[in-house]
């Protein structure tokens, strides 16, 4: 009997000037690859370095493992790096993971099992946070790092790419790509998954496929988490505008974002003031979170783009 064609699974790591994180992550991915090879399946690792200076190359070279492919994507921005991963992956499945994340045991196996059971075009895993030091109680009370957890197999319509498996045949048949306009703002994954599921493609949750997200101290500050909430609101409004197919549709999207943003700002500020008066961290922080998200939506509705990942020009 002739064996069937080999199924190739590519784990893609997008990186930008984080050599220490990359050096710690790659051996873990190679271990995941080894655990999931055999029975007609092969797993490799693709590193897409968005640093034109190729800062990650020495890390890959030091490992000297032929299962790792390394490419440099010189176009700045996460969208370009994600699209490069789509182009470089030649197998059946592409699995995205961030360079500052760490997969739990069985992570890749659970993603693949869920895809096989559901025939989904995309499978999304869970993310848990690991903080670099004690979290400010105010930030904790605000729920800024709360992550969703769902029953495995639950259909969803939007996701990030920090723990995402894609069926490449389905993705390529839809023609969906990561929008370069979101390359330095964040949110291209939100738009991508919305566009993918809008074609009728199925995306499901896998609660057993877990990765840990390392949260460094600078991202644990009150200022940073509030700015991130603003960006989430800004992204939501901008994605809605892109998804609107016509001029009247875009006008409706702007009006909707305004109608959703204004009450969030009002209610959020009111709750923040209540919290400040009562000395309640929960009310104060959650109010700030709601108000910031609403302000981001209002900004997006009038065309303001918040470039969270804007890069400083070289000296």
Answer whether residue 1 shows pLDDT above 80.
Answer: no
In a domain, 307, yes or no: no
Please indicate, yes or no, whether residues 65 and 201 belong to a single structural domain of this protein. Answer: yes
Please indicate, yes or no, whether residues 77 and 168 belong to a single structural domain of this protein. Answer: yes
Q: Render pLDDT for 107-138 as a digit per residue (tens, 0 to 9).
A: 999 999 999 999 999 999 999 999 999 999 99
Domain boundary among 189, 219, 249: 219
Mean pLDDT of the region 44-57 = 97
Look at residue 314 in the predicted model and tell me its pLDDT. Answer: 45
Q: List the one residue out of 97, 213, 99 whose CA is nearest residue 162.
A: 97
Please indicate, yes or no, whether residues 231 and 250 belong to a single structural domain of this protein. Answer: yes
Bridge partners of residue 43, in order along the sequence: 9
Domain boundary among 219, 245, 266: 219
Please indicate, yes or no, whether residues 156 and 230 belong to a single structural domain of this protein. Answer: no
Token output for 313: 């020009």
Please indicate, yes or no, whether residues 103 and 234 belong to a single structural domain of this protein. Answer: no
Range of the domain at 257: 222-301
Please indicate, yes or no, whether residues 203 and 138 belong to a single structural domain of this protein. Answer: yes
Q: How many domains does the chain have?
A: 2
Asked if 188 contacts 315 with a C-beta cutoff of 8 angstroms, the reply is no
Please indicate, yes or no, whether residues 193 and 238 belong to a single structural domain of this protein. Answer: no
Mean pLDDT of the region 35-60 = 94
Please indicate, yes or no, whether residues 169 and 233 belong to a single structural domain of this protein. Answer: no
CATH code assigned at 185: 3.90.550.10
In a domain, 175, yes or no: yes
Q: Render pLDDT for 214-235 as a digit per residue (tens, 0 to 9).
A: 999 999 999 999 999 999 999 9
Domain boundary among 179, 198, 219: 219
């Amino acid at each position: 009997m002739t064996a069937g064609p080999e199924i190739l699974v590519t784990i893609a790591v997008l990186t930008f000037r984080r050599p220490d994180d990359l050096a710690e992550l790659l051996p873990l991915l190679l271990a995941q690859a080894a655990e999931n090879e055999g029975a007609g399946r092969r797993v490799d690792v693709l590193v897409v370095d968005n640093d034109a200076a190729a800062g990650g190359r020495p890390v890959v070279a030091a490992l000297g493992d032929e299962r790792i492919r390394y490419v440099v994507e010189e176009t700045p921005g996460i969208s370009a790096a994600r699209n490069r991963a789509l182009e470089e992956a030649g197998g059946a499945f592409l699995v995205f993971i961030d360079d500052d994340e760490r997969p739990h045991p069985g992570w890749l196996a659970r993603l693949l099992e869920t895809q096989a059971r559901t025939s989904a075009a995309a499978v999304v895993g869970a993310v848990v946070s690991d903080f670099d030091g004690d979290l400010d109680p105010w930030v904790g009370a605000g729920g800024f790092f709360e992550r969703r957890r769902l029953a495995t197999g639950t259909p969803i319509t939007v996701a990030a790419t920090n723990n995402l498996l894609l069926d490449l045949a389905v993705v390529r048949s839809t023609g969906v790509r990561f929008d370069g306009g979101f390359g330095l703002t964040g949110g291209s994954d939100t738009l991508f998954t919305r566009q993918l599921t809008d074609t009728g493609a199925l995306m499901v949750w896998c609660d057993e496929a877990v990765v840990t997200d390392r949260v460094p101290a600078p991202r644990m500050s009150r200022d940073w988490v509030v700015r991130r909430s603003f960006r989430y609101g800004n992204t939501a409004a901008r994605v809605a505008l892109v998804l609107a197919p016509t001029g009247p549709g875009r006008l409706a999207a702007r009006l909707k974002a305004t109608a959703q943003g204004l009450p969030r700002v009002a209610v959020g500020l009111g709750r923040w003031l209540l919290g400040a008066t009562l000395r309640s961290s929960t009310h104060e922080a959650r109010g700030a979170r709601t108000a910031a998200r609403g302000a981001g939506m209002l900004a997006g509705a009038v065309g303001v783009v918040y470039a969270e990942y804007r890069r400083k020009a070289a000296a």
